[in-house]
Amino acid sequence: MTSDCVICAEDLMKVYQMGQVEVNALAGVSINIERGEVVAIMGPSGSGKSTLMNILGCLDLPSSGKYILDGEAVETLNDDQLANIRNRKVGFIFQSFNLLSRTTALGNVELPLRYAGKISNRKERARAALDSVGLGDRISHRPTELSGGQQQRVAIARALVNNPAIIMADEPTGNLDSKVGKEILELLLGLNRDKGTTLIIVTHDPTIAAQTQRIIHLRDGLIEEKQ
Amino acid sequence: MNFGQSIIEALETMNGNKLRSGLTILGIVIGVGAVIAMLAVGQGAQDTITGAISGIGTNLVFVTSGNDILNVRNPKPLTLGDAQAIADPYSAPDVLAVAPIIQGRNDVTAGGQTMSVSVTGTTPEYFILQNYALIEGEFLTQDNLQGNASAAVIGPGVADKLFGRRNGVVGETIRISGQPFRIVGLLESKGGGTFGSQDNQVIIPFTTAQTRLIHRSVLNEVDQLYVQAANAKAVPAATDEIKQILRQRHRTPVGVDDFTVFSQADFLSIATTVTGVFTIFLGGIAGISLLVGGIGIMNIMLVSVTERTREIGLRKALGARKRDILVQFLIESSMLSLIGGIIGILLGWFLGFIVGRIAAATGNPFNPAISVDAILLATLFSAAVGLFFGIYPANRAASLEPVEALRYE
């Protein structure tokens, strides 16, 4: 384990109780991701991709195993501390954008800052984040008035507004056509180049995975790593 | 999370579902409006009744024949002799004055106008006891009493009806049940009383009434004695003295008085109790509608939580703590009930005003009183309703697992 690893996970297990049956969604996954890396997580459905991402993103806790995210031992934290970690260290990008439909682009990007406590220059920071994804002229538009690509850009601005250590993207181009999808991927990779943000992309698409530095293949809750 | 921002967000959410929010608010509006209006009507009734009773004076004691509580056989009627005995300063030192009353209802005629009024036969002390003031003329005198004079003091209502004016009526003649009486005095208006308006009455000497108008079976029988105690504090002592004297004179055994002594304080406490119960009863019924409104809020908030499960999941993914979600939903439900409460106060005030108007139009003027207490109570209660019925849905929202909530379709 190098000191520079932003995600250090050891032997992560996740067991779901489905009625009478126990399902091993993760059967002991160890994973180290260094600061500034771009990693793709691939695998067929049911392989535990989403479970792994939820745990790495602190949305869920592992049943057993150790997980240190940017120096914090996650498995010892309570709900509020987890919320705080998600707020400060993780930026989420979803396949279906998940924007608040009644709120403007600016309001959506501001949201993580509002949960971060007292921040005086919220509006300026949100505007800067929107500028950096090329939507500086769309700040007062509502999601319904934006195209799919623009909505995903708003979501990206929202993910990076708190300067997180990692950005987690779950099928970020899944709902977009290939041209727009390429632009979004470019934007994400550009963030990695310019700011050194660690990027974890969960995807089905081999062409997207091919542009990352490392691909982690999951199968039946276990890693088959290929360089 | 910023509180002001949360309120704006709650308002935006409510604005996004105008009809739904409007109907939910309406439930609270009706509830709060009903509570305010009912409390106002109750308070108004209480004010009117206690005001009328207070108008009779704090040091008055009333004596009537018979016993309201115990069954007494053949109660002796009160007589002038009883009145004189009570007026004796040696046997009743706390009694200042006594006025015997004999009352009937007679037709009074003047200038072709006829009205049926209460005719009271009494002594000059009565005017002092009742605190009457005159517009013109004078009260009945001891001479009127001793001379069986055909003199009458009339109330302003009678003057209005018979003469259409309130000046220069002294010296005019009226006919009470056909017998002519000369008006010697005109009373100032006193407004409504416990037993009807005191403005529509005619007062004549006791002796005249007894012999010519209001006949009773026993010699010198009186209907009631009005007794004035030396002061408000002397009322209990005066009451005791009156009881002693009357027990002796009526020769009743201990504990079975054939008369009843009643003070204004007794009236007041009974009236306050009755109207208080009345107000609580009205307010309670209105409170039920507020409760129903609260259940409406809970219902809508539960729907809202289910609808916005994904949003809640997203907020949690972005770093919202349990408390943030809880506060967000509580603010939303409180805003619903608070807005409803404010509109409801206006509605209640309006309803109270309408009731007052209807009462005035039907000739029973009374003012529904909207007290600050009632407004505070209704506002606090409606906010509490919003909070209380918001807690369960908000808690449900706050305890959603982020992973589950995000996956929700």
Q: Render pLDDT for A184-201 as a digit per residue (tens, 0 to 9).
A: 999 999 989 988 889 999
| Confidence grade of residue B330 (pLDDT, cut at 50, 70, 90) | very high
pLDDT of B194: 47
Share of chain A above pLDDT 70, in %: 97
pLDDT band of residue B56 (cuts 50, 70, 90) is: low
Q: What is the pLDDT of residue A1?
A: 46
Q: Given an 8 Å threshold on Cβ–Cβ distance, is B324 in contact with A115?
A: yes
Residue B402 lies in a domain: yes
Nearest C-alpha in A relative to B408? A98
Give me the pLDDT at residue B29, please.
93
Long-range contacts of A11-16 (CB under 8 A, 24+ apart): A11/A64, A11/A65, A11/A66, A12/A52, A12/A55, A12/A62, A12/A64, A12/A65, A12/A67, A13/A62, A13/A63, A13/A64, A13/A65, A14/A48, A14/A51, A14/A55, A14/A60, A14/A62, A14/A63, A14/A221, A15/A63
B321, B402, B403 ranked by CB distance to A80: nearest: B321
User: Residue B109 is part of which domain span?
Assistant: 76-254
Question: Are B380 and B241 found together in one domain?
Answer: no
Contact A115 B1 (CB under 8 A): yes
Domain-embedded: residue B59: no
Q: Is the pLDDT of residue B253 over 90?
A: no
Contacts of B316 in chain A (CB under 8 A): 59, 83, 86
* B271-327 tens-digit pLDDT: 888 888 988 898 888 888 888 888 999 999 999 999 999 999 999 999 999 999 999
Residue of A100 and B1 predicted with greater confidence: A100
Alpha carbons within 13 A on the beta-carbon side of B57: 19
B201 and B85 assigned to the same domain:
yes
Measure the CA–CA gap between B123 and B145, rounded to whole angstroms. 7
**Residue B35 included in any domain:** yes
pLDDT of B196 above 60: no
CB-nearest partner of A87 from B310, B311, B319: B319
Q: Do B318 and A79 touch (CB under 8 A)?
A: no
Sorted by where each starts, the structural domains of chain A and their CATH numbers stand as 36-62+79-226 (3.40.50.300)
CA distance B171 to B406: 95
pLDDT, mean over chain A: 89
**Does residue B177 lie in a domain region?**
yes
Q: Is the pLDDT of residue B195 over 70?
A: no
Q: For residue B32, give how far its alpha carbon lies from the nearest alpha carbon of chain A (Å).
A: 31
Q: Which of B224, B254, B284 is the last residue of a domain?
A: B254
- Residues belonging to chain A: 227
Do B24 and B84 fall within a single domain? no
Give pLDDT, residue A3: 56
Give residue A216's pLDDT: 92
Average pLDDT over residues B153-178: 89
Residue B387, min C-alpha distance to chain A (Å): 23
Residue B282 lies in a domain: yes
pLDDT tens digits for range A18-65: 888 888 889 989 999 999 999 999 988 888 888 899 999 999 889 999
Higher pLDDT, residue B252 or A112: A112
Q: Is residue B263 part of a domain?
A: no
Q: Which residue of B has its CA nearest to A101?
A: B311
Q: How far is B20 from chain A (nearest CA, A)?
A: 16
Question: Which residues in chain A touch residue B310, judged by CB atoms under 8 angstroms apart?
Answer: 98
Q: Total structural domains in chain B? A: 2
Instruction: Specify the DSSP element, H or E, that contains A82.
Output: helix A79-89
Question: At residue A227, does pLDDT exceed 70?
Answer: no
**Which burial class, exposed, middle or buried, applies to B177 when counting CB atoms under 10 A from its CB (0-12, 13-18, 19+)?**
middle
User: Do residues B23 and B99 share a domain?
Assistant: no
Q: Which residue in the set A60, A86, A100 is minimally distant from B319, CB to CB?
A: A86
B250 and B278, same structural domain?
no
ipTM computed for the complex: 0.92
